[in-house]
Amino acid sequence: MFSSAVPETDTLPDDPRRVLTFSLAGADYALDLRWVREIRTPETPTPLPGQPPAVLGVTNLRGDMVPLLCLRTQLQQAAPTQGSGAVVVVQLPRGLLGLLVDAVQDVRELDAGDLRPPPFPQGRAAHLLGLYQTGRQPLQLLDPMALASDAALH
């Protein structure tokens, strides 16, 4: 089973955390950059029967079959516009996972000590590692291991 820990590093709680930020249904999200392998333009995936609705299928990434997860569906948001967005490919212990997002924004450094716990640790917030208050709305730090587990990709 997947562990929900970020890949090991030598960072201390007050050290900066580098994150990739992206938007999804009007909200701002982030992934720890240590999980991110690359960003790609979406391609039409090959559907696989019997998968959860959030699993769009698989794509071929230089010979690797990569499951593609629609984050809007996984996080119970409105359906995305067909053919739009970007795919963030993350490296998990058991392989690669593509995450379809609306738009990639940038890479930011945030103080690890400023991460606040999710207000609702159970249910829909189980995929959140925490929240950063960086502007008008919080930046939600996602746990890719929990997203994969929630989508039954373990």
* pLDDT tens, residue by residue, 3-13: 344 454 444 55
- Please give the model's pTM, rounded to 2 decimal places: 0.85
* Token pair belonging to 88: 């963030």
| Domain parsing of the chain, residue ranges | 16-150
First and final C-alpha spacing in the chain:
6
* Token pair belonging to 42: 């979406």
Question: Rounded to whole angstroms, how far apart are CA atoms 59 and 44?
Answer: 8
Class of 16-150 in CATH: mainly beta
* pLDDT tens, residue by residue, 101-144: 999 999 999 998 899 988 876 665 778 899 998 878 899 999 99
Question: Rounded to whole angstroms, how far apart are CA atoms 25 and 66?
Answer: 24
Q: Residue 132: name the closest of 113, 109, 117, 115 by CA.
A: 115
Residue 72 makes CB contacts below 8 A (sequence gap 6+) with: 24, 25, 78, 79, 80, 100, 102
Looking at residue 84, what is its pLDDT?
Answer: 74
CB 145 within 8 A of CB 69: no
Q: Which is it for strands 128-133 and 138-142: parallel, antiparallel or unpaired?
A: antiparallel
What is the pLDDT of the chain when averaged over all its residues? 85
